[in-house]
Amino acid sequence: MRRERAVIIGSGPAAWTAAVYAARANLEPVVYEGEPTRDMIPGGQLMWTTEIENFPGFPEGVGGQDLMELMKRQALRFGTRVEQESVVTVDFGVWPFVLRPGYGEAFEAEAVIVATGARANWLGVPNEERLARTGGGVSACAVCDGALPAFRNQVLAVVGGGETAMEEATYLSKYAREVVLLHRRDALRASKVMADRVLRNPKIRVEWNARVVSVLGGDFVTGIRLQDTVTGAERDLPVGGLFVAIGHTPNTQFLQGQVDLHPNGYIKVAPGRTATSVPGVFAAGDVTDDYYRQAITAAGTGCMAALEAERWLAHHDAAAPEAVPASA
């Protein structure tokens, strides 16, 4: 069974940053970047973002796909190897750890960095996914996209009733002409403080008992079709952008509970660190973060994970031979 020094699972900003640092530290990392699925593609959520204006070093902005390609090229420059497969199961109960990809043979890893990110929860209505993937005015991140010129001084819709929706609506109110918050019930789920902040905002109005059944528009969203959840009546609402704020799901299913998770499924890490509950396994990026969810914060934790992995491996290299299990 082949044995790898450092394995990075994922291919977003956290994964490629970890790869750059690990490769420069001579850890000979291999990145399992995953395979396209209906919900995710290699490169993560930024692959669906047409323009990024808040990543340092790009004063004119940069496309999401372009940024991921540049990060990948930088990692490759220092000798990172890439496998275009997903890791489907892991065994962290033994060391070296055993990882099994979708098609290739199982292999061993001395250190693992999990950077598989999280996927946005979508409504699943007609036109939504197409316009989200093509930069057509449908987004799941107001902080990422809300300040773009296409959305400024527009009527923007936000779907959701929880904390995230309140934060998104409040943020968008700084740029939009009006923000319409759509909630399928007659009361918000968010905390009273957050709900009151939205309800008092003169640029935000709430459409109660409203469910989105379709997104309208060809190349760019022009409106949404709403259904009254009480009467069933439908009507069209013209908008210049739609922000879906119904949460994210971390990509942790393949771990099968072998590291400690928070109740919402995100990986638990030591405070201010990237170490998980399993020594030698580290986690970085949105798979650990349900608060910031930004490319720059993900990249920062990718750096941290690589540095921690390097130091952990150095400690094991210095250990007595009998303290380090031999390869199977």
Report pLDDT digits (tens) over 231-268.
Answer: 999 999 999 999 999 988 899 999 999 999 999 999 99
What is the per-residue pLDDT for 325? 43
- 13-22, 34-43, 81-90: least confidently modelled range: 34-43
What is the per-residue pLDDT for 35? 81
What percentage of the chain reaches a pLDDT higher than 90?
72
What is the per-residue pLDDT for 158? 96
For the annotated catalytic residues, the residue numbers are 141, 144-145
Taking only the tens place, the pLDDT of each residue in 67-79 is: 999 999 999 999 9
What is the per-residue pLDDT for 37? 67
What is the per-residue pLDDT for 163? 85
pTM of the model: 0.78
**3-state per-residue secondary structure call for the chain:** CCEEEEEEECCCHHHHHHHHHHHHCCCCCEEECCCCCCCCCCCHHHHHCCCECCCCCCCCCECHHHHHHHHHHHHHHCCCEEECCCEEEEECCCCCEEEEECCCCCEEEEEEEECCCEEECCCCCCCHHHHHHCCCCEECCHHHHCCCHHHCCCEEEEECCCHHHHHHHHHHCCCCCEEEEECCCCCCCCCHHHHHHHHHCCCEEEECCEEEEEEEECCCEEEEEEEECCCCCEEEEECCEEEECCCEEECCHHHCCCCCECCCCCECCCCCCCECCCCCEEECHHHCCCCCCCHHHHHHHHHHHHHHHHHHHHHHHHCCHHHCCCCC
- 24-33, 91-100, 121-130: least confidently modelled range: 121-130
Sequence ranges of the chain with CATH classification 3.50.50.60: 3-119+248-323, 122-244
What is the per-residue pLDDT for 290? 86
- 158-167, 214-223, 317-326: least confidently modelled range: 317-326
Q: What is the CATH number of domain 122-244?
A: 3.50.50.60
For domain 3-119+248-323, the CATH architecture is 3-Layer(bba) Sandwich (3.50)
Mean pLDDT of 39-51: 71
